Chains A and B, each alone.
Chain A
Amino acid sequence: MIKDQIQLTFDVQKIRDDFPILRRSVYGKDLIYFDNGATSQKPQVVIDAINEYYTENNSNIHRGVHYLSQLATTQYEEARKIIQNYINALLSEEVIFTKGTSDAINLVAFSFGETLSAGDEIIISAMEHHSNIVPWQMMCERKGCILRVIPIDQEGDLIMSEFDSMLSSKTKLVAVTHISNSLGTINPVEEIIEKSHKFGAKVLLDGAQSIQHMHVDMQKLDCDFYAFSGHKVFGPTGVGVLYGKKEILDQMPPYQGGGDMIAKVTFEKTTYNELPHKFEAGTPNISGGICLGTAIQYLSKLDIQSIQSHEQELASYAEAKLNEFEGMRIIGTAKKKTSVVSFIVDGIHPFDLGTLLDKQGIAVRTGHHCTQPLMDFFEIPGTIRASFAFYNTKEEIDIFISAVERSLTMLR
């Protein structure tokens, strides 16, 4: 009963009106945008906020006494608070602005890495994005640490018993993705966090694919770090967030040196600024930060429950329809999944199918999705990935399915 009411209040057509790009066409066809895993589209309020910032408020922050500088600083710090509230972080200084998820993970890998010694162990998983693999490899090389990888099963679920046997007092950090970008698997992060903490290990969640699909509560999750990208959560590119617990961030050395991150500089010795500024060297992406705040505000006005059920409905509908094709193989059939449908078709190269879908106005991603080790595990060169956002519709899926059908006929 309650569920029905929520469904009724979720008006996808009305939401689509907020996203001007959805009105355009490509190759003479209405655009169908199913590449939300790569980046999301932006609502008009975010586009307007970018415009307004540069038209009315542009100034450098944390530096000037003049009116505009104060205004921009206030807006930037307000955005930090909006994000803090949305992810329910305890303190606003636990929200550090970065360039994105990759930048946030690199920050932790460098700075937290400095506190580690040879022989310490880091655990990641087999389904990680390259952004949550390579920084750890670099760090392990630098510090003599050991990288361990939680394997997955054929469905695309983590093999938790393997994880259990990897954990030890040597484990210093567990860095896993909250949701897999290639498979859609929602990992049991609560369990991972609880078990890791028993061994005194910290946990970093790669939230690049989760914050746009579900409610994330830092205090409830109790993770130590959480990273996400603005551009995947309806905000601008070039900005993202690293959440970290204050007591841990306080113990970490700065990542980069420059303006803003210092308290006092002399040639003999420099002392560092407080959080969050300690980790924000140089002029940041001011407009990006402010407008990410706008995007999060936009999202917070939507009902996340109805977003989720709408997205789930789209994904199950698409999977059911796709499974009707001969030779179809869905990659990633975990018990708990978001609205990502990755697939391959026997004898059909993903690039060919992706190219033909593109020419029919449908944007999907093809290839290894920056998860090459995962593709090696499934022994495939890549997949075709349709990743849905709340502004997608069943009608779009119907058009997509006929486009797949037409393409397969041409390719076979």
Chain B
Amino acid sequence: MTLAEKEQEIIDEFAIYDDWMDKYEYIIELGKDLPKISDDKKTDDRLIEGCQSRVWLALDIEDGKVKFSADSDAIITKGIIGLLIRVLNNETAKSVATAELNFIKEIGLHEHLSPTRSNGLASMVNKMKMSALKSL
């Protein structure tokens, strides 16, 4: 699946929810399902300190493809991380660095990525792109 197709798939999944609480119910499920990252990877250099919640981000490159893993102390943040990882993993570093991630806006979650939200997600997306760039 291309990056754009993955984004579209998520947009379609969210299209069935017109109630905010149902949408968040789904995000919470995604958060609960996100594979935990091992404690030895939760180091300070991987920590993105938000005012509201904290995020840990690790990056591996396998066969030229990006593999992110990430964790947060808040479930909703984790759920959104899950969506971002689903879209960005297995892409090349270059397409990660240039990804626009418009799907977040389409499904109405862009408030979480605004820098003022201070839940660490905006910084996380920046860091995802920067670390992908660095690996090039």
Contacts and interface: CB of A to CB of B under 8 A. Distances in A.
B11 interface: no
Interface residues of B, number: 16
Given A349-B53, A359-B20, A410 B28 contact: yes
A351 interface: yes
A368 B75 contact: no
Interface in A391-408: 406
Contact of A356 (B21, B73, B118): B21
B51 interface: yes
A350 B51 CA distance: 12
B96 interface: no
Contacts of A54: none
Contacts of A359: 20-21, 24
Contacts of A410: 21, 24-25, 28
Contact count band on A: 10 to 19
Interface string A338-381: 00000000000111101110011000001110000000000001
Nearest to A368: B51
Interface string A101-125: 0000000000000000000000000
Contacts, number: 42
A57 B51 CA distance: 42
Secondary structure of the A contact surface, majority rule: helix
Interface of A: 27, 349-352, 354-356, 359-360, 366-368, 381-382, 406, 410-411
Given A349-B75, A352-B76, A410-B24, 15 more contacts: A27-B20, A349-B53, A350-B52, A351-B77, A352-B75, A355-B24, A355-B76, A356-B21, A356-B24, A356-B76, A359-B20, A359-B21, A359-B24, A366-B52, A382-B52
22 contacts: A27-B20, A349-B74, A349-B75, A351-B52, A351-B53, A351-B77, A352-B74, A352-B75, A352-B76, A354-B52, A355-B24, A356-B76, A359-B20, A359-B21, A359-B24, A367-B51, A367-B52, A381-B54, A382-B52, A410-B21, A410-B24, A410-B25
